[in-house]
């Protein structure tokens, strides 16, 4: 397998993240294996979104199957292709709808993580606006031969900004959105940092009351639980008008909607999800992609999952010609199977190389030893169906760390030692269960 040079910054992020069992934010291309059909399908979505379309996908799979990894990898691909991206996890405090500001909390999380190619770590809101204004100034200077200190340049820039704002005013909430953009430009032009900061606060959904927004910016509305999704549609339109290809939202941990105990609140969140689905599928939204990760139970449970909401079930369920062995990758649900043994072996080879590069040694483990490690993992878990990528990766990183830090320790000795410990623990549990059963039978009378 051809090895590539990986910067220390990336190997550090990869080693630390994988050791802890979490998905790295960077360097994913160095450990990506499989998922060709799923990736190709989402890349096709991006092409459609860049042409004015929209997309909605549910990425489903068991814990540890690679949902978060796929979402993160597609986020990085999208930035490289010129999209604005925003990602966030749902939680008890962050939902799609809530009576205590949970929907607005999701909007704020997404805006905090707003990213572009030049600002991949989030916080790209002000950078996007500054880049837009700077680009307008440079274009007008070149087209009209104006100097940076020429008053006519400021007037020309202002006209262009108001032209974009005029286009936004025809959209839902577009008038107020345009007024805030104009207020930001006014702050830039006059050197009024307070006005710029107020505009950014409003765009991030941080104004608590309409009264305060009217006082500082002259707008009578604020972003709240009820309308935050409408503003996401505005952001997708605005992103295209200032030079990007669209806006993609990557939302993980959808299972937190399934965990909502109050049935009315849970149904309200599913209704909001239905609105998002309909908008993207029916062409009501443009330049917008929504990708939501969740477990199969979150989707398919007919008592509390998405399938408990008939309007969603009828839209999301497989067609009659789909089957487990043959599936379409253009449906709203992308179901992630576990990686094959061949794909896991390739992944282990990549991890072996990354660990050696990071710590500066020559990799010693042979492919046969990697296969032996896989076989031990399968035997330990009891069945192939229980093998998750996360568990395999975390255990393998543990093996690599142990072998690197203990020079006299061999792979065979380490593996055999752990397997003996596992067998002893299993026998102990089995014996304890047998003793409990014997005690029960001894006390049982017909």
Tokens matching residue 402: 């142990």
Torsion of CA 139, 143, 147, 153, to 10 degrees: -70
- Identify whether the C-beta of residue 290 lies closer than 8 Å to the C-beta of residue 249: yes
**Distance between CA atoms of residues 43 and 203, nearest Å:** 29
pLDDT of amino acid 375: 82
pLDDT of amino acid 156: 81
pLDDT of amino acid 353: 92
pLDDT of amino acid 422: 53
- Identify whether the C-beta of residue 101 lies closer than 8 Å to the C-beta of residue 225: yes
Helix (H, G, I), strand (E, B) or coil at 291: strand
**Distance between CA atoms of residues 139 and 145, nearest Å:** 10
**Distance between CA atoms of residues 440 and 443, nearest Å:** 5
Torsion of CA 386, 387, 393, 397, to 10 degrees: 80
pLDDT of amino acid 438: 56
Exposure letters 29-40 (e unless 16+ CB within 10 A, then b)? ebbbbbbeebbe
pLDDT of amino acid 144: 74
**Distance between CA atoms of residues 265 and 99, nearest Å:** 9
- Identify whether the C-beta of residue 106 lies closer than 8 Å to the C-beta of residue 95: yes
> By C-alpha distance, which of 300, 273, 233 is closest to 60?
300
pLDDT of amino acid 423: 47
Residues 6+ apart with CB under 8 A from 266: 257, 258, 260, 304
| DSSP class of 2 | -
- Identify whether the C-beta of residue 51 lies closer than 8 Å to the C-beta of residue 246: no
Mean pLDDT by 10 residues, the chain (446 residues): 76 92 86 88 95 94 85 93 95 92 96 94 93 85 75 79 78 87 87 93 94 92 93 94 94 93 94 95 93 92 92 82 66 86 89 92 89 80 62 89 88 74 50 54 52
- Identify whether the C-beta of residue 250 lies closer than 8 Å to the C-beta of residue 71: yes
β 54-60/84-89 pair status? unpaired
What pTM did the predictor assign? 0.84
CA angle 179-196-229, nearest 5°? 55
pLDDT of amino acid 323: 56
Residues 6+ apart with CB under 8 A from 272: 96, 97, 103, 229
**Distance between CA atoms of residues 339 and 31, nearest Å:** 13
**Distance between CA atoms of residues 411 and 414, nearest Å:** 5
Burial of 235 (0-12, 13-18, 19+ CB in 10 A): buried
**Distance between CA atoms of residues 430 and 143, nearest Å:** 81
Contacts 24+ apart (CB under 8 A), 102-106: 102/225, 103/224, 103/225, 103/226, 103/228, 103/229, 103/272, 104/205, 104/223, 104/224, 104/225, 104/228, 106/228, 106/251
**Distance between CA atoms of residues 153 and 155, nearest Å:** 5
**Distance between CA atoms of residues 193 and 179, nearest Å:** 17
**Distance between CA atoms of residues 266 and 252, nearest Å:** 17
Q: Would you list the DSSP string of 345-395? A: HHHHHHHHHHHHHHHT------HHHHHHHHHHHHHHHSSGGG--HHHHHHH
């Amino acid at each position: 397998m051809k090895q590539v040079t990986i910067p220390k910054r990336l190997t550090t992020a990869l080693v630390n993240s994988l050791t802890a069992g979490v998905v790295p934010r960077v360097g994913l291309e160095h450990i990506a294996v499989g998922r060709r059909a799923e990736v190709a399908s989402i890349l096709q979505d991006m092409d459609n979104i860049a042409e004015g379309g929209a997309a909605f996908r549910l990425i489903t799979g068991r814990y540890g199957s690679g949902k978060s990894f796929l979402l993160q990898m597609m986020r990085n691909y999208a930035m490289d292709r010129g999209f604005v991206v925003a990602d966030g996890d749902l939680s008890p405090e962050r939902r799609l709808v809530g009576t205590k500001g949970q929907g607005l909390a999701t909007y704020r999380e997404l805006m905090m993580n707003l990213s572009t190619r030049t600002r991949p770590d989030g916080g790209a809101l002000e950078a996007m606006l500054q880049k837009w204004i700077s680009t307008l100034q440079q274009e007008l200077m070149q087209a009209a031969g104006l100097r940076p200190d020429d008053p006519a340049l400021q007037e020309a820039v202002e006209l262009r900004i108001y032209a974009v704002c005029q286009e936004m005013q025809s959209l839902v909430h577009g008038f107020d959105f345009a007024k805030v953009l104009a207020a930001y430009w006014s702050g830039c032009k006059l050197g009024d940092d307070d006005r710029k900061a107020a505009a950014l606060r409003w765009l991030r959904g941080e104004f608590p009351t309409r009264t305060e927004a009217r006082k500082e910016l002259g707008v009578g509305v604020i972003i709240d639980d009820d309308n935050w999704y409408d503003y996401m549609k505005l952001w997708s339109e605005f992103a295209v008008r200032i030079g990007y290809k669209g806006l993609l939202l990557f939302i993980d941990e959808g299972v937190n909607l399934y965990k909502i105990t109050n049935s009315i609140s849970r149904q309200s969140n599913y209704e909001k999800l239905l609105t998002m689905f309909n908008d993207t599928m029916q062409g009501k939204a443009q330049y917008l992609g929504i990708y939501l990760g969740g477990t199969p139970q979150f989707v398919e449970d007919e008592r509390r999952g998405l399938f408990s909401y008939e309007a969603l079930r009828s839209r999301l369920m497989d067609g009659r010609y789909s089957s487990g062995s043959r599936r379409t990758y253009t449906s709203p649900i992308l179901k992630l199977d576990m990686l094959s043994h061949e794909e896991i072996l390739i992944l282990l080879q990549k991890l072996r190389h990354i660990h050696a590069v990071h710590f500066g040694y020559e990799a010693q483990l042979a492919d046969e030893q990697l296969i032996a490690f896989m076989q031990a993992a399968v035997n330990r878990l009891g069945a192939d169906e229980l093998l998750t990528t996360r568990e395999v990766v975390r255990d393998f990183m543990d093996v690599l760390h142990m072998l690197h830090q203990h020079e006299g320790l061999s792979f065979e000795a380490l593996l055999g030692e752990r397997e003996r410990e596992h067998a002893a623990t299993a026998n102990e549990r089995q014996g304890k269960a047998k003793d409990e059963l014997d005690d029960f039978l001894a006390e049982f009378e017909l």
